[in-house]
Chain A
């Protein structure tokens, strides 16, 4: 009984989080007339699948989702593969070069991306990467990397150096202690970084808009925006239906990977 207020608060929070998704579902099932009612209802009076038919009939949503998934997975994995050793070096080695590197990473975060979009576009053009998904992966990795580095650096710092020292005392080389001692403890951090990089890439619109010109390579955000017109006017029904479908792959990805976010592996490791 003591926990009742906690459950109420938790339930309220879940409703708060689920509200946009439920509203999206409700809108996706409504007719245009019902969407324009001054007193909207949660449950559609005359549920229709016409919005889904329109969304899938007019746009290649499945193809776009597959391409987005490929780009997001590739970008997030490459980001983690690069940032993990870099974060380790930044966290463990303290020197002038390290400080400069950290400063540089910080500075890169303050650049508005619109400022560098044209030079970046030129570079991609010279590399023949315009209008290709690998080109987009490169851009997404470039932009996610600094923050991923900061995230992972924090996780590495949280791993006590004493653990590595203990492994060294037992005869492990540095590489061995990283692989066998540090890496498993970093799993939650790696997963969190992976999720961050995945979401950033999955939702990214502006670079994709500029880089991808061929309809055959367009990603999901570019496809969704086709249901919107000027000055915020949109075809709400098909947009809601398409957006709902667009959330499914990322929800599945989260469902698979979220268990790995659980921490606690290190609890008691250096208690003495």
Chain B
């Protein structure tokens, strides 16, 4: 009897709670300004670092105060699930008005007609403040044979080398600068010098090897994809093989890179790095945040520019803000984006996420050029960023997951030869790409 009455009471409380705390109806936007009520815009943000979330909220608050007629609701999402979330919400017509994402994800959504083409809509000031190389990362086919601009690029990541200063100095290797970076030969020589006893010169964290490898492959002009007669295929020629071979040599010929780090995620080698087991970590610029926050007292570290091959070019993708095609208030959404991504705000966002702003005004901000925490080197590396060649390849995601990731892991793990890796990347890769081009 007691359990029955307890269950009944709990049911009433729970139902009342669930129903009472339900939010108001769905939909991305509600009333229009014509009724005298403010326009409401939902902004899906993927910021997750403490400083970055704070910067996002601050900018939104400032906007809401200055624009009582266009009120923005800040909604936090998560990088790992955002595309599943958007697929459903786009299909249901309830996607947020302003969407934070990264440029590789925009291609598919643009082709399906879910994103607004911003080509002729971006204010001139914002357009001219962002270099064309960054705009290229958000320019995609519209699914009808045309090209459109489906987002405003605002944060980018380059590859740098984070080094233990003590071990670097002790090795006697030349300290590279943004104007005079190491060549890959110098990088390998320095890694060899730093390999002593239990210490490895470098740790390649290759749990997700594809983007990192493909972005660096541009150092030697390696693009991995070629398009002829409208058909895209995979290619692994001498240019593509350079970086693959050099990383492999560090691991298995020079033995200056620790094979044990291969299976690790980007941040996983950090504890061993602080302990002096690794002298250098090639990583994205964002990793500096974790080093700055976690490094033990007295641990000195420096940010070095990425190595160069025939050029210092690296592939880049961008974080972006887009407007949903179904947004009821696209003009207001774009006004908000233009404010959100002005030079001063981009500097705040870049600082919060430890990434590089696309805005040239923001890049000149003293906070972006200070020597502290390697900002000067990180910001200078932005000049080498060009659109990642894989960005516009239909089927890249599947090639990356099903073909390139296991093949590169096996190759770096010394389980297959470079010829075998190249053969599989091309043959299995072309089979995947073909399905997307029928």
Contacts of A77 in B (CB 8 A): 7, 10-11, 14-15
Given A132-B23, A187-B3, A231 and B266 contact (CB-CB distance below 8 Å): yes
Q: Is the CB of A214 within 8 A of B3?
A: no
Asked whether any CB of chain A lies closer than 8 Å to the CB of B93, the reply is yes
Q: How many chain-B residues does the 8 Å CB contact rule pick out?
A: 57
Q: Is the CB of A134 within 8 A of B84?
A: no
Chain B 223-259, CB within 8 Å of chain A: the 1/0 string? 0000000000000000000000000000000000000
Contacts of B272 in A (CB 8 A): 38
> Which residue of chain B has its CB nearest to the CB of A128?
B25
Asked whether any CB of chain A lies closer than 8 Å to the CB of B270, the reply is yes
Asked whether any CB of chain B lies closer than 8 Å to the CB of A229, the reply is yes
> Which residue of chain A has its CB nearest to the CB of B81?
A209
> Which residue of chain A has its CB nearest to the CB of B87?
A118
Given A33-B295, A125-B94, A216-B23, A233 and B80 contact (CB-CB distance below 8 Å): no
Q: Is the CB of A213 within 8 A of B275?
A: no
A-B contact count (CB 8 A): 160
Asked whether any CB of chain B lies closer than 8 Å to the CB of A165, the reply is no
Asked whether any CB of chain A lies closer than 8 Å to the CB of B71, the reply is no
Q: Is the CB of B10 within 8 A of A133?
A: no
Q: Is the CB of A228 within 8 A of B78?
A: yes
Given A36-B271, A131-B25, A133-B19, A73 and B13 contact (CB-CB distance below 8 Å): yes
Q: Which of B96, B265, B294 contacts A232 (CB 8 A)?
A: B265
> Which residues of chain B (47-67) have a CB below 8 Å from chain A?
48-50, 53
Contacts of A226 in B (CB 8 A): 48, 53, 76, 78
Chain B 279-321, CB within 8 Å of chain A: the 1/0 string? 0000000000010011111000000000000000000000000
Contacts of B325 in A (CB 8 A): none
> Which residues of chain B (174-211) have a CB below 8 Å from chain A?
208
> Which residue of chain B has its CB nearest to the CB of A129?
B26
Q: A233–B163 Cα gap in the complex (Å)?
A: 20
Given A125-B26, A210-B84, A231-B208, A134 and B48 contact (CB-CB distance below 8 Å): no
Q: A231–B81 Cα gap in the complex (Å)?
A: 11
Q: Is the CB of B21 within 8 A of A67?
A: yes
Contacts of A121 in B (CB 8 A): 88-89, 91-92
Asked whether any CB of chain A lies closer than 8 Å to the CB of B74, the reply is yes
Q: Is the CB of B18 within 8 A of A134?
A: yes
> Which residues of chain A (181-200) have a CB below 8 Å from chain B?
187
Q: A67–B22 Cα gap in the complex (Å)?
A: 9
Asked whether any CB of chain A lies closer than 8 Å to the CB of B75, the reply is yes
Q: Is the CB of B48 within 8 A of A213?
A: no
Asked whether any CB of chain B lies closer than 8 Å to the CB of A32, the reply is yes
CB A226 to nearest CB in B, in angstroms, measures 5
Chain B 21-57, CB within 8 Å of chain A: the 1/0 string? 1111111100000000000001000001110010000
Asked whether any CB of chain A lies closer than 8 Å to the CB of B73, the reply is yes
Contacts of A91 in B (CB 8 A): none
Q: Which 3 A-B pairs have the closest CB atoms?
A: A130-B26, A73-B14, A70-B17
Q: List 21 A-B contacts (CB under 8 A).
A: A36-B274, A37-B271, A38-B277, A70-B14, A70-B21, A71-B18, A73-B11, A74-B14, A77-B7, A118-B88, A125-B92, A131-B94, A132-B26, A134-B19, A135-B22, A206-B84, A214-B73, A226-B48, A228-B48, A228-B80, A231-B265
Give me 9 other A-B pairs in contact (C-beta within 8 A), A58-B53, A232-B265 excluded.
Answer: A36-B290, A69-B17, A70-B14, A70-B18, A128-B26, A131-B94, A213-B42, A216-B23, A233-B290
